[in-house]
């Protein structure tokens, strides 16, 4: 390794994740207009195509996160991360020029593949962070994720006034600038002696999860994360529909509420992880986050006024403690040459829940708001999320009760 990672490495990673999320958020406001322009159809059919584009992106994340993680274990974090970020910039340009729907699907296909660089960024964090600071640094990555999702839609909406393709070119330019910056400031963190050969059998979701069987605690916490992510993904899936139906909010009010949620999450992941986790430890922080999240979801379900709904948002932001804490606990169980594989498995799991949860949540919402529903209850999906969170909490408590430390297996 030519130089040790300094503050520029953390700054670059934060900017990389921030730009990833800004780029993703920038295209959200203009995607309906672009789809309508390309297909020549109305917003109804465009929304259906948009759903399939989201499915394609999530599926590729699920399949390729282990590939990216394993490549970084074999060839180092730096080159894989820079390659993926560069490919993402090119991909945004392709989507900006897309003349047909097929090209948009090609763009989402590659965006899902190379967007899995989140796994490599987390492996980099695991490399450079001492065990007692891993959760805090994972929290910073999560905070950048949240801030990007606040800024992106706002910037995309403004740029969209100049045409639905402009935000794609802006995202491409941001991505390219970030790659150039990273080329000069990002050192390698994985020493040659800590690398292992790339193996196709391990570089897929099934192979990655099979490798995690060597670490019993990790395997148990992966199960907990399935329930947590299924609960978490209820928010983006049903939030808009619930708020509009229950409180009569406009699109602008829904957007403002989502920005407030993003702000609360960013504060919790950026500041809360640094104030709470060092004082109570990763285990208690994870359990606290799950308990408060469950209460928050149940509160959303039974909110009688919009003000109740708003007041519960800071409470639900305690979910920002969960993933940094669990990632830190799991990364402590895994040797250096498997950090990328672990983070790839985690990102793959997130991609899987992104496929399943929206269907599960929206169908639950529909079933309990239909005119023929035996019980009319718009908050049913949030009750389901609360139950999933409690199930996650139970699995975490059970897994951490006996905490065997597996030997490092190359």
**How many domains does one find in the chain?**
2
Q: Last residue of some domain: 185, 216, 244?
A: 185
Evaluate whether residue 2 is within a structural domain.
yes
Q: For the chain, what is the mean pLDDT?
A: 83
Q: Last residue of some domain: 185, 218, 234?
A: 185
| Whether residue 156 is found in the same domain as residue 272 | no
- pLDDT surpassing 70 at residue 106: yes
pLDDT at 1: 41
Evaluate whether residue 198 is within a structural domain.
no
| Whether residue 131 is found in the same domain as residue 268 | no
| Whether residue 125 is found in the same domain as residue 253 | no
- pLDDT surpassing 80 at residue 154: no
Query: Which domain CATH number covers 279?
Result: 1.20.1250.20
Question: What pTM was computed for the model?
Answer: 0.75
Evaluate whether residue 332 is within a structural domain.
yes
Evaluate whether residue 306 is within a structural domain.
yes
| Whether residue 218 is found in the same domain as residue 274 | yes
pLDDT at 407: 39
Evaluate whether residue 194 is within a structural domain.
no
| Whether residue 212 is found in the same domain as residue 179 | no
pLDDT at 18: 80
| Whether residue 168 is found in the same domain as residue 249 | no
The whole domain housing 159 covers 1-185
| Whether residue 216 is found in the same domain as residue 145 | no
Query: Across 38-47, 109-118, 125-134, 310-319, which has the greatest mean pLDDT?
Result: 310-319
- pLDDT surpassing 60 at residue 6: no
| Whether residue 232 is found in the same domain as residue 353 | yes
pLDDT at 403: 63
- pLDDT surpassing 80 at residue 47: no
Evaluate whether residue 193 is within a structural domain.
no
pLDDT at 281: 92
Q: Last residue of some domain: 155, 185, 215?
A: 185
pLDDT at 408: 40
| Whether residue 310 is found in the same domain as residue 263 | yes
| pLDDT tens string 209-254 | 888 888 889 989 999 999 999 998 888 778 877 888 888 887 677 7
Q: Give residues with Cβ within 8 angstroms of 283, minimum separation 6.
A: 325, 329, 400
pLDDT at 262: 79
Evaluate whether residue 192 is within a structural domain.
no
| Whether residue 232 is found in the same domain as residue 176 | no
Evaluate whether residue 296 is within a structural domain.
yes
pLDDT at 409: 40
| Whether residue 163 is found in the same domain as residue 309 | no
| Whether residue 396 is found in the same domain as residue 274 | yes
The residue with greater pLDDT, 116 or 63, is 63
| pLDDT tens string 82-91 | 988 888 888 8
């Amino acid at each position: 390794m030519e130089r040790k990672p300094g503050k520029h490495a953390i700054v670059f990673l934060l900017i990389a994740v921030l730009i990833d999320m800004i780029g993703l958020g920038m295209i959200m406001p203009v995607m309906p207009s672009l789809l309508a322009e390309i297909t020549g159809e109305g917003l109804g059919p465009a929304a259906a195509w948009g759903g399939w584009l989201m499915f394609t992106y999530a599926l590729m994340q699920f399949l390729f996160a282990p590939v990216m993680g394993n490549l970084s274990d074999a060839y180092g974090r730096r080159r894989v991360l820079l390659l993926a970020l560069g490919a993402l910039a090119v991909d945004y340009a392709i989507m900006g020029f897309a003349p047909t729907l097929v090209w948009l699907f090609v763009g989402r296909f590659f965006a899902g593949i190379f967007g899995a660089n989140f796994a490599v960024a987390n492996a980099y964090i695991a490399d450079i962070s001492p065990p007692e600071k891993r959760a805090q640094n994972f929290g910073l990555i999560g905070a950048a994720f949240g801030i990007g999702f606040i800024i992106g839609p706002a910037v995309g909406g403004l740029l969209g006034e100049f045409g639905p393709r402009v935000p794609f070119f802006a995202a491409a330019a941001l991505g390219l600038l970030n790659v150039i910056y990273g080329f000069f400031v990002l050192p390698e963190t994985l020493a040659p002696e800590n690398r292992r050969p790339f193996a196709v059998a391990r570089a897929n979701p099934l192979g990655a999860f099979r490798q995690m069987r060597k670490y019993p605690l990790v395997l148990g916490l992966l199960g907990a994360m399935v329930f947590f992510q299924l609960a978490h993904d209820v928010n983006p899936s049903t939030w808009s529909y619930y708020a509009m139906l229950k409180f009569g909010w406009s699109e602008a009010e829904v957007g403002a509420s989502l920005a407030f949620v993003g702000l609360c999450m960013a504060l919790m992941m950026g500041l809360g992880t640094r104030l709470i986790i060092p004082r109570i430890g990763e285990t208690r922080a994870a359990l606290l986050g799950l308990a408060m999240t469950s209460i928050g979801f149940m509160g959303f379900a039974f909110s009688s006024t919009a003000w109740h709904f708003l007041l519960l948002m800071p409470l639900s932001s305690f979910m920002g403690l969960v993933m940094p804490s669990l990632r830190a606990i799991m990364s402590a169980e895994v040797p250096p040459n498997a950090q990328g594989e672990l983070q790839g498995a985690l990102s793959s799991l997130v991609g899987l829940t992104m496929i399943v949860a929206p269907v599960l949540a929206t169908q639950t919402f529909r079933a309990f708001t239909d005119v023929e529903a035996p019980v009319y209850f718009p908050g049913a999906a949030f009750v389901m999320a609360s139950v999933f969170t409690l199930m996650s909490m139970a699995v975490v408590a059970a897994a951490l009760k006996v905490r065997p430390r597996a030997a490092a297996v190359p």
